[in-house]
Amino acid sequence: MIQRIVVAAALAAAPLLTSAAQELATAPPDTTGQVRTALAQQPAPLPWYRPRHAVVQTGGGIGMVAAGVGYGLWRDRAELDVLVGYVPKKHAGSTLSIATAKLMFSPYLIPIKERWQLRPLTVGVYYSYTHGTINDEEPGQYTKGYYWFSTDTRIGPLLGSRITYARDPSPRGRARNISFYYELGTNDLYILSYAQNRRGLSPVDILTLSLGLKADF
């Protein structure tokens, strides 16, 4: 049954692929190494504030699930993502919502084969604010500087990779690339802990992992 559906889908998709190939043939040669967005008809420019992609991820200290939108900067070599994350009460003792901004640079774009592209290195920073912690400072609870660090605000570096698949562009000509990424990260307080305890901690101790998907729209 499943095989029949696959065959039917392939048959249905075949004319689309053919037309895409024809369009490619007439499009100017792709010299930028960018994922294919070239089309016979250029899409209308988007307003600056319109997000270019949606993103969803798990881990990385910013949510069991974190979802948001982002913008490509500097010809998509950099991206700014804004996410809202969620951690259920059973995992943290209280329900947490985490607002995060991530700025990532991907200096290298490597086409692997048609439709597939690798960003072997993405490097960036994130800043997160957590709402909903249990023992958050109440007015007058502590004297000034009692705890020198912030409970809710974290900042940290990220390092990862990303692989992109170029889906067929939308009917209006927008790129609809879809990417999978992972990122290794840590945060300010973990870094401080390691920096002061090079014998007592290992770098692996302070690592976090994120796994995520990005989709252009």
Partner 1 sequence: MLLPLLFSYRRLGLPLVAAGALLSGCELLEFSPNDHRSPSDKQDLTAKNLAALAATPLPAGDTLRFVYTGDSQRFYNDAKDLVASVNRQTGVQFMIVAGDISDFGMAREMWWVDDHLRNLKIPYLTVIGNHDQVGNGREAYKAIFGPLNYSFVYGDTKFIMTDTNGREYNFNGKIPDMNWVRPQLQDASVRRHVIISHVPPQDDDFDPAVRDAYAQALREDPRLVFEMNAHRHSFSVGQPFNDGVTYVNSYAFERRKYLIVTVWGDKEFRLKEVSF
Q: 115 and 164 in contact (C-beta within 8 Å)?
A: no
Site membership for partner 1, residue 192 (CB under 8 A): yes
CA 57 to chain centre: 7
Task: Number of residues interacting with partner 1: please give it, by CB under 8 A.
Answer: 49
Site membership for partner 1, residue 144 (CB under 8 A): no
Site membership for partner 1, residue 142 (CB under 8 A): yes
Q: Given candidates 54, 77, 155, 208, which one binds partner 1 under the rule CB under 8 A?
A: 208
Q: What is the DSSP letter of 205?
A: G
Stretch that binds partner 1, among 30-38, 67-75, 146-154, 160-168 (CB under 8 A): 146-154
Q: Which is nearer to partner 1, 57 or 179 (CB)?
A: 57
Spell out a b/e string for 110-119, using b for 16 or more CB atoms within 10 Å of the CB, else e. ebeeeeebbb
Two tokens at 8? 């039917």
Site membership for partner 1, residue 198 (CB under 8 A): yes
Binding-residue pattern over the window 79 to 118 for partner 1, x denoting contact by CB under 8 A: ------x-x---xxxx-x-x--------------------
Rounded Cα distance, 177 and 103, in Å: 19
Nearest to 85 by CA among 98, 68, 76: 98
Q: How far is the CB of 69 from partner 1 (least distance, A)?
A: 21
